[in-house]
Structure 1
Amino acid sequence: MTTLETLSRWLADAPENEHLEFKEAKQQYDTTKLLRYCVALANEGGGHLVLGVSDRRPRQVVGTQAFQNRGEVTARILEALRMRVDVQELQHPDGRVLVFTVPPRPAGTPLHHEGAYLMRAGEELVPMSPDQLKRIFSEGGPDWFDRPARAGASAEEVVALLDTQSFFDLMQLPYPTNRDGVLERLAKERLIERKPDGWNINNLAAILLAKRLDAFSPELARKAARVVIYEGANKLTTRYDEPQPQGYAVGFEKLVDFVHSSAPRNHFVEQALRDEVKMFPRQAIRELVANALVHQDFEATGQSVMVEMYADRLEVSNPGLPPIQVERFIDEFRSRNERLAELMRRMRVCEEKGSGIDKVIHLAEVYQLPAPDFRTSETRTTAVLFAHRDFADMSKTDRIRACYQHCCLKYVSNERMSNQSLRERFRLPESKTATASQVISATRTAELIKPDESDTTSTRYARYLPFWA
């Protein structure tokens, strides 16, 4: 049951996400919109729709006159969606609030309203992709990683198909003295399973350790990370376009080295270090590629991780939408593929939970690059690293994004952003204090940062927090 205390906590702390939605609805609220939001919340695990609260921060109770007959609207939802939604009325001092508590959909059954299978994407409701629907319909069956990539393989075929030497090297384990020891360890890690007709090599083993993914199946071959290098700032002329045929773990360092070596030089940092420096830091490339490999939607067919290099930027994208908002990448972590992530961490391919994106943002600051951008489309998540750009050449959007990310980076480091720290991030002299203040003001207007009022109320010495802190 939702209480006034719960509502107060939501108003103070909780961001809107796929499980929580606020609407003002002062006078009324469209029933069709209500049904569509119920469908989207149910499809993403259930949640709450709250009417009578301002949409934008700082959130306040404004009161609502919508749906005065709660029994009637409950019956309307049940009739339309075949789902019972609890409708609760809270009498807040500032007005009436309605809370719709939506249960999760049944396993294997996506919900729809008038044929539209909906989900949240930022502030919008969008249709689920065919691959997302396929994944829901397959619930209850074997996990993608447990499905066999090769069934009934002999011991010789297991060793021929998988790079077992790299596996033991990455795990920092001594290589067994005989083949039985190799198979025993792979079986212990649930990468292979003994069957009456031989060994089943599962998809997890193949996607990580395959000597060649195309030796297993066309489906796995299409999961190979693909590197594309363009001549200019668009896709008109392609200089290189090849998939990385090895499994993710065994081919990871080679993939990162190739992308890094193909990057243009950063002459601006070279002048300071008096050494050759690539435009995109290797560690940043490493983190973004690892994130894309780990967090992709493996149920999405015919899609792969893409690493696309242009003259002025590097884009790393993966199939699937993130389970958290892109604005929260720096401080939150929720893995779509925890089993894959855990094994790749043990192989030292990716970092500990949630420590990758803050490194990317830090490196962008050190290498004097614009703030990286994180975007979602209908079916993909994309991270963008930009080539060097002077402050004067940055757009207003670039500056706001950099200010917000700098504020987040300071916060997760137990520090606070100030005018001075932002000037240092942009390499601006003290004479540009007013310019930094304008960027801070624009970022506040975008509701991405807020003053840290616990520190000081002085404008001159103001410190700032991310909006979610």
Structure 2
Amino acid sequence: MSVSIRQFEQWLQSKEKEHLEFKEAKQQYDLERLKKYCNAIANECGGHLILGVDDNFPHNVVGTNAFQNPLSLKKDLLDLLKLRIDIEEFFYIGKRILIFEIPSRPIGLPLQYKGASYMRVGESLEPMTPEQLKRIFDEAQPDFSAEICNAATISDLDEIAVAELRHLWSSKSRNPQILTLPVEQLFSDAELLVDGKLNYAALILLGKKESLGKLLPNAEIVFEYRSIESSIQAQQRYDYRIGFLSIHNKLWDQINLRNDVEHIQEGLFIRDIPNFNEEVIREGLLNAVCHRDYNLQSSVFIRQYPALLEIESPGGFPAGITLDNIIYKQYPRNRRIAEVFQKCGLVERSGQGVDKMFRLSIEEAKPRPDYSKSDAFSVILKIIGEIQDIKFLKFLEKVSSEKKIEWTTQDLLIFDDIRQGKTPPAEFQNSIIRMSDQGIIEKFGRGRGVKFILSKRFYTFLGEKGIYTRKKGLDTETKKVLIIKHLENHGKGTMEELEQIFPSLSRHQIFNLLRLLKKENKIQFKGSPKKGAWILL
């Protein structure tokens, strides 16, 4: 491991998250607690533990005197935890930092320390719950969809579904011979028939109603419609227990029956945006079929409301997938089903398509797909259909057209974060720099106090120049004048008073202003650190 200054500064600009933990440890750090942290981070798929940086955001580099013999510590951790942890002594602005690079546990195997597998819960370390241990053990399970169903025969498959498989695969591959292949050859080429026996993927995708009822009754999709979210009783309900390729279009048609359209005026023309984007909904349904846990006896549920659609599928996220990485990381729980979807052109790759769902939602100025209610036993996807900000939508389209830019998912996530007043993740740094150079977003502040806003052009387009000025804030010289004015009016000023003047600034940023004024010999600090105040010279 060799950490660059740029990498370290990117970490400083990030809040603590799943794979990054800061500890002040100015003089020392408890060895027992260090071992538990290493165990917990390894159980959470690895990451970095950094000593010598406080864990409050924005982070201050304080340096550490802990563990003066990293080589000996590395050996002790290997002996006790059975983990090869890299430890690097790193110096930043003259201060010693210890960086621990902790590898992930093996797939399907939680690591233990003194009889417990630890996890982080806020600032605490706790033994993993049975739910989380189950998720880890489930990682080692084989692909259920590739397993042979000994009782199934070709007569158990639905002719309409088989015809749909031929049609989709032939169209995707541009190979008309698929339309006339013998059935056994078709299934063998699709890896649905192995050594003359059908696997569960064949049943899930192509099975007849009565065959699924007998051989795999939980391979069912239940559709419910309610006109009010608080309603317990569904006004309409359909149970679909038949091969998915028989009904994938029917499911969309059912949803589209009550798909209200919003009319967006664009000059002389009107553009229609439906509540539920067809591509987003289809991706959500494909994910539910492809990634659900067929060892659980529950069904997939689709719950539709006028402006909300919810898809609930049995089983938590597949191994290695979290709320933080779901857009980019791919791990299909049922790979054989995913591969058939890919052959049929239903998905672009044997992955999740979640990035497409996020991109399309933001492009239509709708909230992002929401997985926050998911747990170890079910994945719950909420798709909200209402357009949140029509002006934002029009601005994206205008800039895209003028600059000939095709937005990536990462670009749109940056836009959406900044629009909501959030700081984009540090790992988006390259895209942020490019968008800033293009004049699409603006950066102000320095170091850990850096902030981003949408460009002046955006607020001019909205007719909200005043909001731009407020968000941009005062320049450094104007802020210094305000501090001087306060000291002239009141004779002195405390940090608490200055925070009232600059509510959007951190203490660190205010202190930088005071330091500049002190360097210019305009102010000085008088009194004790706790009770003193700044005065004019």
How many residue pairs get aligned? The number is 425
The residue aligned with 2:303 is 308
Deviations 1:76-125 (A, max 9, x none): 7568x652443524141342222334344355532245765455799997
Say yes or no: does 1:37 pair with 2:37. Answer: yes
Displacement, 1:151?
0.2
Identity rate, percent: 27
TM-score between the two structures when normalised by the length of structure 1: 0.69
Say yes or no: does 1:189 pair with 2:187. Answer: no
Letter in 2 for 1:236: I
CA distance in 2, matches of 1:241, 1:116: 45
Q: Is the 8 A contact 1:45 1:103 kept in 2?
A: yes
Q: Is the 8 A contact 1:229 1:239 kept in 2?
A: yes
CA distance in 2, matches of 1:39, 1:140: 20
Alignment partner of 1:334 out of 323, 330, 334: 330
CA distance in 2, matches of 1:18, 1:285: 29
Letter in 2 for 1:168: R
The residue aligned with 1:263 is 259
Displacement, 1:229?
2.3
The residue aligned with 1:432 is 464
Say yes or no: does 1:86 pair with 2:81. Answer: no
CA distance in 2, matches of 1:91, 1:24: 15
Deviations 1:24-52 (A, max 9, x none): 44445455654443333333444433323
CA distance in 2, matches of 1:123, 1:271: 54
Q: Greater CA deviation, 137-146 or 85-94?
A: 137-146
Displacement, 1:257?
2.2
Displacement, 1:347?
1.0
Letter in 2 for 1:288: G
Letter in 1 for 2:99: V
Structure 1 residues 223 and 73 mapped into 2: Cα distance closer, same or farther (>3 Å)?
farther
Letter in 1 for 2:255: V
CA distance in 1, matches of 2:7, 2:423: 27
The residue aligned with 1:3 is 2
SS of aligned partner of 1:92? strand
Deviations 1:221-257 (A, max 9, x none): 3343333322213353422344432333443222222
Q: Is the 8 A contact 2:158 2:243 kept in 1?
A: no
The residue aligned with 1:385 is 383
Say yes or no: does 1:207 pair with 2:209. Answer: no
Structure 1 residues 49 and 340 mapped into 2: Cα distance closer, same or farther (>3 Å)?
farther
Say yes or no: does 1:228 pair with 2:224. Answer: yes
Alignment partner of 2:348 out of 334, 351, 374: 351
Q: Is the 8 A contact 1:168 1:175 kept in 2?
A: no
CA distance in 2, matches of 1:161, 1:184: 15
Which stretches in structure 1 are left out of the alignment for 5+ residues? 447-469
Letter in 2 for 1:301: L
CA distance in 1, matches of 2:268, 2:358: 20
The residue aligned with 1:163 is 161
Deviations 1:320-376 (A, max 9, x none): 23745545555x242334554343122121234789455445544565544544425
Q: Is the 8 A contact 1:291 1:350 kept in 2?
A: no
SS of aligned partner of 2:296? coil
Deviations 1:159-178 (A, max 9, x none): 45993222211211557798
Letter in 1 for 2:463: S
Letter in 2 for 1:251: I
Structure 1 residues 168 and 264 mapped into 2: Cα distance closer, same or farther (>3 Å)?
same
The residue aligned with 1:286 is 282
CA distance in 1, matches of 2:385, 2:199: 40
CA distance in 1, matches of 2:206, 2:463: 55
CA distance in 2, matches of 1:234, 1:193: 48
Structure 1 residues 153 and 104 mapped into 2: Cα distance closer, same or farther (>3 Å)?
same
The residue aligned with 1:100 is 100
Structure 1 residues 63 and 133 mapped into 2: Cα distance closer, same or farther (>3 Å)?
same
Letter in 1 for 2:331: S
Displacement, 1:418?
3.6
The residue aligned with 1:455 is none
Structure 1 residues 190 and 76 mapped into 2: Cα distance closer, same or farther (>3 Å)?
same
Q: Is the 8 A contact 1:108 1:140 kept in 2?
A: yes
SS of aligned partner of 1:262? coil
Structure 1 residues 209 and 385 mapped into 2: Cα distance closer, same or farther (>3 Å)?
same
SS of aligned partner of 1:37? helix
SS of aligned partner of 1:221? coil
CA distance in 2, matches of 1:192, 1:123: 51
CA distance in 2, matches of 1:264, 1:253: 19
Alignment of 1:51-200 (within 5 A): 51-53=51-53, 55=55, 61-68=61-68, 82-86=81-85, 88-93=87-92, 94-106=94-106, 108-112=108-112, 117-118=117-118, 133-134=133-134, 136-137=136-137, 142-148=142-148, 150-157=149-156, 159=157, 163-172=161-170, 174=176, 181-194=182-195, 199-200=196-197
The residue aligned with 1:463 is none
The residue aligned with 1:466 is none
Larger Rg: 2
CA distance in 2, matches of 1:46, 1:437: 43
Structure 1 residues 260 and 89 mapped into 2: Cα distance closer, same or farther (>3 Å)?
same
Letter in 2 for 1:43: N
Structure 1 residues 370 and 127 mapped into 2: Cα distance closer, same or farther (>3 Å)?
same
CA distance in 1, matches of 2:276, 2:257: 10
Q: Is the 8 A contact 2:204 2:243 kept in 1?
A: yes
TM-score between the two structures when normalised by the length of structure 2: 0.61
Q: RMSD over aligned Cα, in angstroms?
A: 5.0
The residue aligned with 2:49 is 49
Deviations 1:176-223 (A, max 9, x none): 7988x22123123321222xxxx43222222333333862667x4334
Q: Is the 8 A contact 1:50 1:99 kept in 2?
A: yes
Q: Is the 8 A contact 1:249 1:344 kept in 2?
A: no
Displacement, 1:263?
3.1
CA distance in 1, matches of 2:242, 2:362: 33
CA distance in 1, matches of 2:3, 2:299: 46
Q: Is the 8 A contact 1:135 1:299 kept in 2?
A: no
